[in-house]
Chains A and B, each alone.
Chain A
């Protein structure tokens, strides 16, 4: 098709030159001019108008049509089919050889496609589908965990299966490169926490207990959780996206045909890297968070740095730090396994990878909060 010309309106008729014209002559509708896409809408309206009340047979006479675009011909054929469904026979006649060829090329499909617009799903149906999908997802996750346990046992018997060389670079990517953001966020969290509690504690003249509050809640709760959330957003998403694109590129299949276990090659180094890295990041988070609290204590509460640190040391026991690290350990396994599972579940193309990446982060965050709550309850009940 030629590029759409700029339409110059004819002064007398107000129609562009060379545009179609419809002439009704009894049951014969004479169409003349070129049938071009740029005035297809007008032609369709005119055709429908002319044939609206037709009851007897109709002939579309194309003998004055020099050229036609395929899309316009398709519309003409559609009008013919509409007439046919009303029991009105219509035919296209007189087309020149070129137009006739186009008519033939576009015929034969009319009336076949019922315009079935997809009905929007009802709320109940949506909830039902989402529930079933969630159940399927949970099953898939459990399935994956099960096969991971089996594969892990196999790994213990045959450590060679693991792609250990990858652990170093992965530690750098997931650990060392995450240090700045871990520092910043946990410093601010410690700072904000101290700031918020300072106001309340001041009322009781209990300024010094800011150190206790910040120290304990950071080491036991906030620092491990914040760190895990950062790792989940940075590395979990990256794992899911990497493995997902490998999956859709058939690279996972290629690995398998080389006799290499995708589990050992991809999952093992990622789980190991996070297990090594997350507790260390959590420790860093503990220190920098307490520093944030210290800053508030010194600037806002007139505490001496020394006094603040001594108070922190008496309040925070080694065990508090260890529970945080334990949480970090479990968090790291959850993040790595969920990310890998989502990656392996990717299908389709870029869109599938994107969906799995999102879902990996959402599922991980959910898992992190649930695990954290479980830990806290268990530690509380056991008085640990």
Chain B
């Protein structure tokens, strides 16, 4: 709590060429008391359409936090608000103690993996991972290439560095996008449906990777997912969005929510189809 102002001062607002030898702007790892993300009475939507209202939750440092809900409940929309691609008209978002994320003010303190990867099509996979390193560090190019290869190896894509995104399968694109999100070793990553479209073995491998990163590096992970197996395996806590009530209907440990008294939550976690 105390060192937040100091941190803010230490982070150059837009990292000019001379001062951009820092890597990621980050809070202290020891600062575990402060939530990594804090959301208060947030309303999200597009124009006049409200997708979700009155969302309140906090993501603790080092935890794996899941955003769940049926199709079309606004999970990805919520993610877009959390990473600052949309700005809330109502409610508060605080990410890493730096207030609402401002993407115009230089490097944000997190990495993002988009649903379909969003790799830059005109760059090779290696260049995609190198890009943030080139932009935000003063490392020589061979060092950048080394780090990029290491990140790709981490997600099981060694050897794919010289391929173009169009040459990769959907699952490989996702893993490459995770490597890019991890390029600058952020302390927070957002993953939009990381395991969708992966085979079960690969999905399990990805789960293990996320768990390892979270445990060893203290990485905080916020993920949007439908994958129950993955939720139970890696998520410490979840928030569940509902379409009809347009707000969250549950937050907490997924293993406990499995026995929820709320039929909507129960059905979701027990993979029951609903007749309404």
Task: Tell me the residues in window 11-52 of chain B with beta carbons closer than 8 Å to chain A beta carbons.
Answer: 14-17
Chain B residues in 8 Å Cβ range of A250: 114-116, 118
Q: Taking the complex as formed, is B67 at the interface, i.e. its CB lies under 8 A from any CB of chain A?
A: no
Main secondary structure of the interface of A (DSSP, over half): helix
User: How near does chain B come to A339, taking the closest CB pair, in angstroms?
Assistant: 17
User: How near does chain A come to B124, taking the closest CB pair, in angstroms?
Assistant: 15
Task: Tell me the residues in window 209-264 of chain B with beta carbons closer than 8 Å to chain A beta carbons.
Answer: none
Q: Digitize A228-261: 1 where CB-to-B-CB distance is under 8 Å, 0 elsewhere.
A: 0000000000000010011001110111111111
Q: Digitize B75-101: 1 where CB-to-A-CB distance is under 8 Å, 0 elsewhere.
A: 000001001110000000000000000
Closest to B123 in A: A251
CB within 8 A of A259: which of B17, B85, B136?
B136
CB within 8 A of B118: which of A160, A242, A254, A260?
A254
Q: Taking the complex as formed, is B132 at the interface, i.e. its CB lies under 8 A from any CB of chain A?
A: yes
Return the 7 tightest CB-CB contacts between A and B, nearest first. A259-B107, A250-B118, A254-B118, A257-B112, A256-B103, A250-B114, A160-B17
Q: Taking the complex as formed, is B167 at the interface, i.e. its CB lies under 8 A from any CB of chain A?
A: no
The CA of A261 and the CA of B107, in the complex, are separated in Å by 10
The CA of A260 and the CA of B20, in the complex, are separated in Å by 13
Chain A residues in 8 Å Cβ range of B74: none
User: How near does chain A come to B184, taking the closest CB pair, in angstroms?
Assistant: 9
The CA of A278 and the CA of B83, in the complex, are separated in Å by 39
Contact B121 A249, beta carbon cutoff 8 Å: yes
Chain B residues in 8 Å Cβ range of A245: 121
Task: Tell me the residues in window 95-139 of chain B with beta carbons closer than 8 Å to chain A beta carbons.
Answer: 103-104, 106-108, 110-112, 114-116, 118-122, 131-132, 135-136
Chain B residues in 8 Å Cβ range of A255: 120
CB within 8 A of B114: which of A160, A242, A246, A253?
A253
Interface residue ranges, B against A (CB under 8 Å): 14-17, 80, 83-85, 103-104, 106-108, 110-112, 114-116, 118-122, 131-132, 135-136, 180
Contact A249 B85, beta carbon cutoff 8 Å: no
The CA of A258 and the CA of B116, in the complex, are separated in Å by 16
Closest to B20 in A: A160
Contact A259 B103, beta carbon cutoff 8 Å: yes
CB within 8 A of A258: which of B14, B17, B132?
B132
CB within 8 A of B121: which of A251, A253, A256, A261?
A251
The CA of A259 and the CA of B136, in the complex, are separated in Å by 9
Contact A160 B16, beta carbon cutoff 8 Å: yes
Closest to B85 in A: A253
The CA of A255 and the CA of B115, in the complex, are separated in Å by 15
Other A-B pairs beyond A158-B14, A250-B115, 13, CB < 8 Å: A246-B120, A249-B116, A250-B116, A251-B119, A251-B121, A254-B112, A254-B119, A257-B83, A257-B108, A257-B111, A259-B15, A259-B103, A259-B107
The CA of A7 and the CA of B111, in the complex, are separated in Å by 61
Task: Say yes or no: A260-B135 contact (C-beta < 8 A), given A249-B116, A250-B118.
Answer: yes
Contact A253 B106, beta carbon cutoff 8 Å: no
The CA of A172 and the CA of B124, in the complex, are separated in Å by 21
Contact B121 A257, beta carbon cutoff 8 Å: no
The number of residue pairs between A and B whose CB atoms lie closer than 8 Å in the complex comes to 56
Main secondary structure of the interface of B (DSSP, over half): loop
The CA of A259 and the CA of B104, in the complex, are separated in Å by 7
Contact A249 B136, beta carbon cutoff 8 Å: no
Q: Can you list 23 contacts pairing A with B, beta carbon distance less than 8 Å?
A: A160-B16, A160-B17, A245-B121, A246-B120, A246-B121, A249-B118, A250-B114, A250-B115, A251-B118, A251-B119, A253-B85, A253-B118, A254-B118, A254-B119, A254-B120, A255-B120, A256-B103, A257-B83, A257-B85, A257-B110, A257-B111, A258-B135, A259-B108
Contact B16 A256, beta carbon cutoff 8 Å: no
Most buried by A among B84, B103, B180: B103
Closest to A163 in B: B135
The CA of A292 and the CA of B180, in the complex, are separated in Å by 54
Task: Say yes or no: A257-B14 contact (C-beta < 8 A), given A249-B116, A250-B114, A251-B120.
Answer: no
Chain A residues in 8 Å Cβ range of B16: 158, 160
Chain A residues in 8 Å Cβ range of B135: 258-260
Closest to B105 in A: A259
Contact B103 A257, beta carbon cutoff 8 Å: yes
Chain B residues in 8 Å Cβ range of A246: 120-121
Closest to B83 in A: A257
User: How near does chain A come to B248, taking the closest CB pair, in angstroms?
Assistant: 24
Closest to A259 in B: B107
Closest to B114 in A: A250
Chain B residues in 8 Å Cβ range of A259: 15, 103, 106-108, 132, 135-136
Chain A residues in 8 Å Cβ range of B131: 258, 260
Chain A residues in 8 Å Cβ range of B110: 257
Closest to A249 in B: B118
User: How near does chain A come to B56, taking the closest CB pair, in angstroms?
Assistant: 24
The CA of A242 and the CA of B108, in the complex, are separated in Å by 26
User: How near does chain A come to B170, taking the closest CB pair, in angstroms?
Assistant: 13
Closest to B192 in A: A250
Contact B118 A258, beta carbon cutoff 8 Å: no
Chain A residues in 8 Å Cβ range of B108: 257, 259
Task: Say yes or no: A256-B85 contact (C-beta < 8 A), given A158-B14, A160-B16, A261-B104.
Answer: yes
The CA of A327 and the CA of B61, in the complex, are separated in Å by 57
User: How near does chain B come to A49, taking the closest CB pair, in angstroms?
Assistant: 37
